[in-house]
Each structure stands twice: as C-alpha cells, then as structure tokens.
Amino acid sequence: MPISWLKKVTSIIGLVMLVAACTDGTPPPQIEAKPYAYTAPKYTGDGWQVGHLADFNINQQAILDLVSRISRGTHPGIDSLTIVKNNTLLLHENFRTEFSEYDSWVNNTDLNLHVMHSTSKSIVSALVGIAKQQGFIGNIQTPLLQFFDYPEYENWDPGKNDITLENTLTMQLGLEWDEWNFPYEDTRNSLHAIVYNHSDYIKAMLDLPMTSKPGEVYAYNTIASIALGAVIERATGYQLEDFAEQFLFEPLQISEAHWLETPDGFANTGSGLFLKTRDMAKFGQLFLDGGVWNGLQIIERDWIDRSLEKSVTLDWSYTSGYGYQWWLGEFLVNEQVIPFYSTRGFGGQFIIVVPGYDLVLAFTAHNYDNGLYDSPFSLTEKYILPAITQ
C-alpha cells in the first residue's frame, strides 16, 4: 500500500527543523549510541528454548557488530532481528522506536507487534494445508469457483472453471493481472485498481479477463491470497481468524495475532496479519522441522514438502523459484551455494530458513520506499552466515 501523505509531510517538517537548527551557527547535538551488550534471550514460556551465541559455534563478535550497526542506523530500516539455531533462540532484538501508519490498521499499541504484509500469504498457505489434512478441503485440484456462490462473472471465459486451489497457491490463475510493473499508488496497478474501486475484492478479481490458461503464467497476486482465506472460511465454517487461532497459532504457542479485514469482512490474508518477531521465527521452525513444533505435528510433512517444491521457476536476485506462497532462493558465501526458503513482506518482513545450517531468521523492517527492501537477504549473506559454522 502507498506511504501516506502524512508521513511524507512529517518528514518534510523534520527536515525543515533540522535546517533551521543548523543556520544559527550551533551544530546539532550529537547523540552517541550506547554500546550494545549482548545477553541471551529471556525465557518466557512461549515454547522457545533459549541459549547463548557462544555455545553454538557462532562468531559472537561478528553478530554483535551487526546488531550494533543496525542500532546505529548503519543498516537502516531494520525494526527487529531474531536468530534461531538448532531449534534454540539465540538472539532477539527489537530496534523499533515508533509506530507506522500501518499500525492504525488494527489499532496496534505494542512496538513488538509488527505488520507482516505479504508474509501473511505464507501463513494462509499453511492454513490451506491444515484445512486439507482435516478433511475440510478434499483436493487442491478443486476448482476455486466451487467455493463461491456469485451468480455470474464479467468477462466470462470457460477457463475460469479450470482455476484450481493449486493454481491460486502458486499464483498461476491465468487472469489479467499486473501488481508489480507499476507502483502501488498507480491506478494501472491491478491491486490498486481493485482496492480503491471495489468492496468485494475477490469478485472483482474473478471478473477480470483471462489472458492465459491456469497453471501456465506466474503473476504475483495479493487478492489471490485473500481468496484462499475466504476458501478456508467457506470450506470449514470457521471465521479465518478463529481457524488460525485454534489450529495454528495456539499449537505454536502464539498468544497474540491480529488481522486487518477487507471491506466485506474477510481477514486480509494477503497482507494484513500482525505478529511478534519471536512468533514469526516459530513459523519458520515449524517448516524446518517438517510441520512439528515441540513434538506436536501441526501440519503434515507432505504439505510442507509440497509447499517448498519449485512450482514456478524464477531467476531474480536471491530468488530461484516459488512454491505454495513460499519463495526459494540461494545465498553465495565463500563461493559456496547455500539454498534457503523464505517468506517476504513489503518493507522487509522476512522469515528466512536455511536448512543446511539448521537456521531460522526473522526480520521486521520499514524499508518501504528506499530501495532496501531485501536488506535482510544481504545482511544474512554478508554477515550472519559467515559467522556460523555448519
């Protein structure tokens, strides 16, 4: 979503005040950051074992230097960082000092709770898997339209009947859609066109013309992920928030989660979830451990494996493919290729899982319009992975 005019005006006012302070001959005060002192994360009874960096063959000083640089703003925009190795929480730091416009979505007043943006998509994908294993959804080859009772669709094409749940999970619906080639505030952006002109996002998406056969062309689509949340509600009879709470968050010992709702009352499973960073890392650990959290099988291993298969081949920076709303990629460290998978949320809300290192990282950030969206990847590749012995 676009940055609000209020945030921009506030930035301009701040700049004017800074210039004024420098014009009277008095230099602005220099604020010296306090040295960072590492301690092992607190044990809170939230399901995490906690440990010390020094006990896990990690170059502790390299990690402390990274945290210090983040704290000083050398690596700007990072709001929090959590490091988990061998299923043990070794570092959890929150750098956030102010709220953003997005917190108003759910009236958030806790600096530790952060909007997930598109990391929400990976969560709803997991919820589809849970609904399937419980028998609410019989087959992911089921046509998407079977879960909706709209009497008719605009731009009708028989191919719309062929869009399956799997096509929706892999964002290969075949509908006319372009969410990336224009800024989100541009009226030509497909997501903008729906959000600002319709109250029923899913119907508006399904009304679009077909441009390819389902399963052939990848087009990143936030409304498709919202549709998956609606499918869960239609198939299970639960409100999405209640289903997620009972079958995913409570078993993961996540005590606080909030969802933005769409105008017609569905949870915004495309971008509207709020979580804490310690809890984000639990979701990564759940996938790393084949769907198990502290001995409890929450998601079937088969669904985990299918979610992380390369359904779509991509060739971008840190990106080799796409699964069921998970991204696949590779790091390059000391000429060694290191596979990983991740969630990705606008501004830098990333869960990064590196199986070869038994490593889970969780970042939140506010790098929305400064070109540093993927800094969690560069920080992982340049600083964190070199500090860890496999």
What does the pLDDT look like over 152-202, one tens digit per residue?
999 999 999 999 999 999 999 999 999 999 998 999 999 999 999 999 999
d(CA 242, CA 239): 5
Whole-number pLDDT of residue 212 = 98
For residue 5, name the pLDDT band (cuts at 50, 70, 90): very low
Burial 313-323 (b: 16+ CB within 10 A, else e): eeeeebbbbbb
The model's pLDDT over 285-313, given as tens digits with 9 standing for 90+, comes to: 999 999 999 999 999 999 999 999 999 99
Q: Which of 40, 43, 82, 68 is nearest to 275 (CA)?
A: 82
Q: For the chain, list the domains and their CATH numbers.
A: 37-101+247-258+274-387 (3.40.710), 122-239 (no CATH)
360: tokens are 């889970």
**Cα dihedral 165, 167, 169, 174 in deg (nearest 10):** -120
Q: Which of 223, 203, 210 is nearest to 151 (CA)?
A: 203
d(CA 81, CA 93): 5
Report the Cα 121 to chain-centroid distance in Å.
Answer: 7
Determine the Cα angle at 50 with ends 48 and 54, to 5°. 150
The model's pLDDT over 353-362, given as tens digits with 9 standing for 90+, comes to: 999 999 999 9
Whole-number pLDDT of residue 33 = 55
Kind and range of the H or E element at 205? Answer: helix 201-206
Q: Please give the single-letter amino acid code of residue 346.
A: F
For residue 34, name the pLDDT band (cuts at 50, 70, 90): low
Residues whose CB falls within 8 Å of the CB of residue 327, separated by 6 or more in sequence, listed in order = 319, 321, 341, 342, 343, 344
Q: Does the pLDDT at position 249 exceed 60? A: yes
> What DSSP string runs through 17-53?
HHHHHHTTSPPPPPPPPPPP---PPPP-SSS-EE--G
**Cβ–Cβ < 8 Å for 78, 70:** yes
Whole-number pLDDT of residue 390 = 59
